[in-house]
Structure 1
Amino acid sequence: MISKYRKQFNQEFSQEKYAQLKEYLKQKSGLEPAFRISESPLFLTKDFETKLTGASNSIINQIKNLSPDVLQRAVPDNCRVPNDTDKPHFFTIDFGICKNKNGEIEPQLIELQAFPSLYAFQRVFEDAFCEIYPFLSELRNTISPEAFKNQLNDLIVGNENPENVILLEIYPEKQKTAIDFILTEKLLGIKTVCLTKVKKNGRKLYYENEGQLTEIKRIYNRVIFDELDRIPDLKTEFDFREDIDVKWITHPNWFFKISKFLLPLLQHQFVPKSYFLHEFPETEDLKNFVLKPLFSFAGSGVNLNPTKEITDTIEDKQNYILQRKVEYAPIFEDINGDFSKAEIRLLYIWPENSDRPVLMENLARMTKAAMVNVDFNKKDAIWIGSSNAFFAEE
């Protein structure tokens, strides 16, 4: 899309510049990304951006109009954490980039989450593209670096001393998103702490900070709570379900409340029809749907071609949805004349004193495979992996 910028980028591209792009990220973080970095950004029209934000605003309105009881039903009893909040601090929403029957490019909702994404990394990634390809600077995010930092700082650190705020993850050094943790540390002055290193005394939590036991007052939570049960012999001093004297950013219950659980409840022209598996009507054809577990992460457990034999074997059908298939449009041309498909994630924050979330950045993923996951692509494929979108007039 936007042939002017695509043509210029492809003409300027070289493997040397791709190496410079990755080196920029390494220099800023001290780490090489553990996931594949796409050679190219996406170029999308302002008209498409309007469709994205319009659909997102409609979805946000629908969520706000849901009763708290409906949202609470999404939280498994064995995962419920005390001291829930009225709203989340983060809201991310993924759209596939598709074509409608008239050949027009349009977004189609894939999923949504009230869970933090790669806010710090994507900002630096955008900087990297603009550094290596200066013509992109005219298209960059209109939020200034200072405003971006201040808004994230107000949300995550608040009025606390940064040493009393931690980014919490389980074995953070092993996570593919570790580069974002480091960039968040640099941006906000907080430390990343492994869940196994957190100490508990009464209702208070502590971590060792340069040899000193330091109280934790706010937790920027990156732990996917329901995955902890899958880690064998995990030993921690506190359980998420305990009533502790700490402020969650964001509260773990929101991981479940804004999730694929909501997809069957949402309506919009850019929201594919979805059903809970146990409510799937006989009038629909399974071949037109994708089977997804409600709370999987990074595409795990997704079945692109479910059959009745497969669905009949699932006992906890209430924990799965069937979502109408959408066809991603191969419209992003590489230097060889081949085309990639993509999806885009809008990264919002939701300040506590705000009625609506604020759009901060975007994250894109490019693919030439059936699923938007680098692992499903050929090893020598290009124009695949993590990316960033730039918007301009066509």
Structure 2
Amino acid sequence: MIPKYRKQFNEEFSQEKYEQIQTLLKETSGIEPKFRLSESPIFLTQEFREKLLSASESIIDQIKNLPEEALEKSIPENCKVPNDTKQPHFFTIDFGVCKSENGKIEPQLIELQAFPSLYAFQNVYEDLFCKVYPFLNELRNKISKEDYQKHLYDLIIGDENPENVILLEIFPERQKTAIDFALTEKLLGIKTVCLTKLKKVGKKLFYENNGNLIEIKRIYNRVIFDELDKIPDLKTEFDFREEIDVEWVTHPNWFFKISKYLLPLLKHEFVPKSYFLNEFPENESLENFVLKPLFSFAGSGVNLNPTKEITDAISDKENYILQRKVNYEPIFEDINGDFSRAEIRLLYIWKENEERPILLQNLSRMTKAAMVNVDFNKKDAIWIGSSHAFFGE
């Protein structure tokens, strides 16, 4: 899409420039990314952007109009965390870049989350693309770096001292998103703390810094709560389900409330039809659907070709959905004349007491495989991995 930008990028591309971006990322963050970076951004039209925004605004309206009890039903009983908030701090929404039956390139909703994505990393990544390929500056995000930082500072730090705010993760140094943690620390002046290092005294939480115990007032939460049960012999002083004197950014309950659980409840021309597995109608054909566990992360557990034998063997059918298949269109041409597919994630923030979220940034992911996820890019190819979308005419 947008042939003039694709042509210019492909003409200017070199392996040296690709490696330059990686070097600059390491210099900026202090660490190397643990996921593959695509050699190229994707270029999308303003018309496509308007379709993305139209669909997103409709989805936001529908979520806001859902009764609270409908959202509450999504939270497993053993995962409920006290002191919920009226809305999440983050809202991310993934769309595939697809071709419709009428031949138009259109977005199709893949999933949505109220969970932080690579907010710090992605803005730096865009900046480095523009630094190495200066012609991209005319297409860059209109939010200045200063305003971008202020939005995230106000959201995550609020009125607290950054010393009393932490980014919380489980074994953060092992996570693929560690580079985003490092860039968040630089951006906001906060510490990344492992869940196993938290100290609990009464209803208060503390972390240790240079031999001193520092009280935690706000937690920028990057822990996927229901993943903790999969870690053998995990020892912590703090259980998420305990009552504590801390503010969550974002509250763990929202990981469940805005998730694949909502897909069967949403309606829009760019939202593929979805059903809970236990409600799948007899007049639909399984071969037209993808099977997804409700609360998996990063594409785990997804079955692209479910069969009746597979679905019949699932005992907790209410915890799975079937989503109508969409066709990611291979339209992003590489320097060898091969084409990649892509999806785009819109990164919103939702400030406390604000009626609607603010679109801050995007990230995209490119693939030549059947699933658009960095974990599924096993093929030795180019134009695959984590990327960024630029919009133009």
Structure 1 residue 46 and structure 2 residue 46: aligned? yes
Letter in 1 for 2:120: A
Name the structure 2 match of 1:229.
229
Structure 1 residue 343 and structure 2 residue 343: aligned? yes
Classify the secondary structure of the residue corresponding to 2:335: coil
Query: How many percent of aligned residue pairs carry the same amino acid?
Result: 77
Structure 2's unaligned 5+ residue stretches are none
**CA separation of 1:258 and 1:214: change in aligned 2, threshold 3 A:** same
**CA separation of 1:369 and 1:379: change in aligned 2, threshold 3 A:** closer
- How far apart, CA to CA, are the structure 1 residues paired with 2:85 and 2:375? 36
Name the structure 2 match of 1:167.
167
Post-superposition offset of 1:103: 1.4
- How far apart, CA to CA, are the structure 1 residues paired with 2:147 and 2:153? 10
Letter in 2 for 1:46: Q
Letter in 2 for 1:73: K
Name the structure 1 match of 2:252.
252
Name the structure 1 match of 2:295.
295
- How far apart, CA to CA, are the structure 2 residues paired with 1:241 and 1:69? 20
Show structure 1 runs of 4+ deviating over 4 A.
none
TM-score by length of 2: 0.99
Residues 9-57 of structure 1, C-alpha deviation per residue, up to 9 Å, x if partnerless?
A: 0000000000001111111101110000000001000000000000000
Classify the secondary structure of the residue corresponding to 1:382: coil
Classify the secondary structure of the residue corresponding to 1:282: coil
Classify the secondary structure of the residue corresponding to 2:215: strand
Post-superposition offset of 1:312: 0.5
Post-superposition offset of 1:297: 0.2
| 1:83-94 equivalence runs, <5 A | 83-94=83-94
Letter in 1 for 2:338: D
Classify the secondary structure of the residue corresponding to 2:129: helix
TM-score by length of 1: 0.99
- How far apart, CA to CA, are the structure 2 residues paired with 1:285 and 1:123? 42
Post-superposition offset of 1:102: 1.9
Letter in 2 for 1:225: F
Classify the secondary structure of the residue corresponding to 1:346: strand
Classify the secondary structure of the residue corresponding to 2:53: helix
Classify the secondary structure of the residue corresponding to 2:223: coil
Name the structure 2 match of 1:138.
138
- How far apart, CA to CA, are the structure 1 residues paired with 2:240 and 2:295? 17
Provide the aligned length of Structure 1 versus Structure 2: 393
- How far apart, CA to CA, are the structure 2 residues paired with 1:355 and 1:380? 45
* Cα pair 2:377 2:385 within 8 Å, conserved: no
Residues 52-100 of structure 1, C-alpha deviation per residue, up to 9 Å, x if partnerless?
A: 0000000000000000000000000000000011000000000000011
Name the structure 1 match of 2:105.
105
Name the structure 1 match of 2:282.
282
| 1:49-198 equivalence runs, <5 A | 49-198=49-198
Name the structure 2 match of 1:356.
356
**RMSD of Structure 2 on Structure 1 (CA):** 0.6
- How far apart, CA to CA, are the structure 2 residues paired with 1:92 and 1:377? 22
Classify the secondary structure of the residue corresponding to 1:158: coil
- How far apart, CA to CA, are the structure 1 residues paired with 2:317 and 2:101? 32
Name the structure 2 match of 1:2.
2
Name the structure 1 match of 2:310.
310
- How far apart, CA to CA, are the structure 2 residues paired with 1:273 and 1:24? 42
- How far apart, CA to CA, are the structure 1 residues paired with 2:316 and 2:382? 39
- How far apart, CA to CA, are the structure 1 residues paired with 2:369 and 2:75? 33
Classify the secondary structure of the residue corresponding to 1:306: coil
Classify the secondary structure of the residue corresponding to 2:93: strand
* Cα pair 2:341 2:368 within 8 Å, conserved: yes
Post-superposition offset of 1:101: 1.5
- How far apart, CA to CA, are the structure 1 residues paired with 2:64 and 2:379? 43
Structure 1's unaligned 5+ residue stretches are none
Post-superposition offset of 1:378: 4.4
